[in-house]
Every structure is written in C-alpha cells, then in structure tokens.
Structure 1
Amino acid sequence: MPLTWTVAREGDLGTADHTELAAMLATAYPQYPGKFTGTRSWLGARPEARVVGRDGEVAAHAGVVRRFVRAGDTDQLVAIVGLVGVRPDLAGAGHGREVMARTAALLDDLAVPFGLLLCDAHLTGFYTACGWHARPCASTTLAFDPWNPAAERVDVPAMVLPVRAALADWPRGDLRWNTQQV
C-alpha cells in the first residue's frame, strides 16, 4: 500500500502529532524502552523537520536538524539525519528507501552541502544503497548525551550524503559531533 508523505516542521506539530510519532518510534526502536513515551518523539536533539509517511497512522519517519560538526580542522555545516524508521509490520515493503529518498529531497530544499548520520554497522549496506557513503575517520566523538553519559567516542559508521557539495569536498580527519544526535 502506498504511503502519504509530508514534511512536517517541528513548530507545526501539536500534542497529538508528537503522541502518534512517539508511538511509532517506540515500535521502530525497541532497544530504547521507555524513551519514546507520551509526547516525547525525539531521542537527543529535537528535529527541525521530519519526513513522515502515513497509511492512516505514522508508518515511516526520519528527523532532520541542521548543525555544524567538526571534521578534522573544519567546522562543517551538515543536516544531521536520525530516527529513521519504518513500522515493523511494514518492513521490507520499500518504505525505508522511500523515506530516505524523500529525506534527500528535503536536504536539497534546505540547501545543505552534506547530510550526516550515524548508524549500526549492519545498516551501512542499506544507507549505501540509498546514496550515502561511509566516511573514513579514525574516531567519532559525541557531545554529552544525557541518555548515555559514559559515551564519548563511538565505534559506529558515520555516513555522508553529498547534497550541494561533492563527496571529495568532505573534510578529512576525526569527527567531533558538537551536538546531540537526532
């Protein structure tokens, strides 16, 4: 069944929207029990915009926020992408690729040079198939995360999507994530 897609700006969402988003994200991210409850539809930084697919209820989602990260010696503007998920009962129907294609279009509308996301290693093939590239770096250091205060350096792939710049323009060096993840 095809989904109906929208881009929702955070300021346009109300209590009912956040409740519905939180319920779907709780099913998409069972490894974070109790994090998506009530109206809490974000994990770290709140997105500024969300790509949402619906089939009567929220079926697919990705959050986006523009930030600067430190890559090597460069402060690089990026659109951080996170909370990418599809309702488990719809897994395998192509909605994940669709949410990523629509997210890429949103990043182009936001006129950012790059998209950036962190993912589990087993998901790199999915993101690569969606046009993202594993970013070579020695380490990724996160800003303080209240959900995981002990985490500083993470050993997960950082994926980059060239949007308004060429992949060759991505700065070399370690990545310092000077904000929370989406």
Structure 2
Amino acid sequence: MIKSIKYSNLSPADADELQQCIHAAFGHVPFVQNHTWAQPDWTFIKYENGRVATFYNVVLRDVSIDGKKYKVAGVNNVITPEEFRGRGFASEILRATEQYLFNDLGCKYGLLLCADALLPFYTRLGWYKVHPTLYYDQPTGRQLYDSNVMLLSSEEQPFIKPESIDLNGLPW
C-alpha cells in the first residue's frame, strides 16, 4: 500500500521513524551535515506488512528555470530501509506517484539532486540529467550547487536543458 501524506500530518511515530531512516542513510555525509534543508510538504510511503518499506519526500516550490518560474516537485530522501532493499520498492513508489506530482499537485517538473551512483537508477525511471548553474539558499547566503541535477518532465511539458536554475530557497 502506498500513501501520500502531508508532511505536517505525519504522526510523531512515523515522523521519527522516517528521520531515523534519513539519518542512517545520509547522516554521515558531510554535505548533508553542513547544510540547512527545506522541510518537505509531502511524504509518499509504501508499506509492506504494516512497516515502512520505502519512502520519499517532496518540497513544492516555484523554481526559476532560465528566468521563468515553474512549480516544481523537489524530490528528496528516496530511502528504502536495508531489510526491504532489492525488491524494487523505490522504483515502484516513484512510478506509482509520478502522475500525482503532475496532476494532483500541479507541478510542471520534478527536480532532484543526487549522487553519481544514483544516476542510472533515476534515468531508468525517466529522469534526465541536466547541467545548469544551480543556486540555493543557506542562512549564510546564496550558494552554488556543484553536483548532479536531474529533471522529470510531465507529458505536457517539453524536455528542457536549462542553463540556470534557482531553487528560490533552501535545498531539499
């Protein structure tokens, strides 16, 4: 079963469980430790036998792409707890919720920031790598992101190869 939940409506127990998963997956990464991150707007969770088998978060934001604003689904923390890995659950949840992002949430694009090792995974799901200059905010000021940026286009939106993206806020 896959559920979409407003992040602010997560039960304290679910929020704590997801935070523990996030910390286990990314808590050791210096880039993650040294930055302030946006709070998600939505969480998508796949349950298996009543337990969280995989999940991801979405930050909804008007992002500037080559000077034009688009409502974007900022995808982050796609995590499958170790005991559920290798069963295709992350692919399943991303495919199953893709149209929700575009149709129900009204986003024009999906946007994620990811490590090199994850490029093939997201590419198989229809995401494509772009090479823009990408800016995001931090309490210390505006920052330049220097790693992988991927987009997912809705059926109504063309594939684009932006030169510049401004997240207009904290990264996700």
TM-score for the superposition, normalised by structure 2: 0.84
The corresponding residue for 1:85 is 79
Q: Please, which of 53, 57, 65 is the counterpart of residue 59 of structure 1?
A: 53
The corresponding residue for 1:40 is none
Secondary structure of the corresponding residue to residue 166 of structure 2 = strand
Secondary structure of the corresponding residue to residue 94 of structure 2 = helix
1:56-135 aligned at under 5 Å gives the runs 56-108=50-102, 109-135=104-130
Greater share of residues in strand: 2
Q: How big is the alpha-carbon RMSD for the aligned residues of Structure 1 and Structure 2? A: 2.5
CA distance in 2, matches of 1:112, 1:53: 22
CA distance in 2, matches of 1:181, 1:93: 29
Q: Please, which of 22, 40, 43 is the counterpart of residue 50 of structure 1?
A: 43
Q: Please, which of 149, 154, 167 is the counterpart of residue 145 of structure 2?
A: 154
Name the % identity: 26
Secondary structure of the corresponding residue to residue 142 of structure 1 = strand
Deviation of residue 157 (structure 1)? 1.4
The corresponding residue for 1:181 is 171
Is 2:71–2:106's contact at 8 Å kept on the other side of the alignment? no
- Per-residue Cα deviation, 1:111-136 (whole angstroms, up to 9, x for no partner): 21111111112211110101111123
Q: Which runs of 5+ in 1 are unaligned?
A: 37-42
| Distance change >3 Å, CA 62–CA 70, structure 1 → 2 | same
Q: Which runs of 5+ in 2 are unaligned?
A: none
- Per-residue Cα deviation, 1:151-182 (whole angstroms, up to 9, x for no partner): 822221111111253233x3732112211222
| Distance change >3 Å, CA 70–CA 171, structure 1 → 2 | farther
Secondary structure of the corresponding residue to residue 158 of structure 1 = strand
Deviation of residue 60 (structure 1)? 0.8
Instruction: Number of aligned residue pairs: give it.
Output: 167
Is 1:135–1:160's contact at 8 Å kept on the other side of the alignment? yes
CA distance in 1, matches of 2:93, 2:127: 13
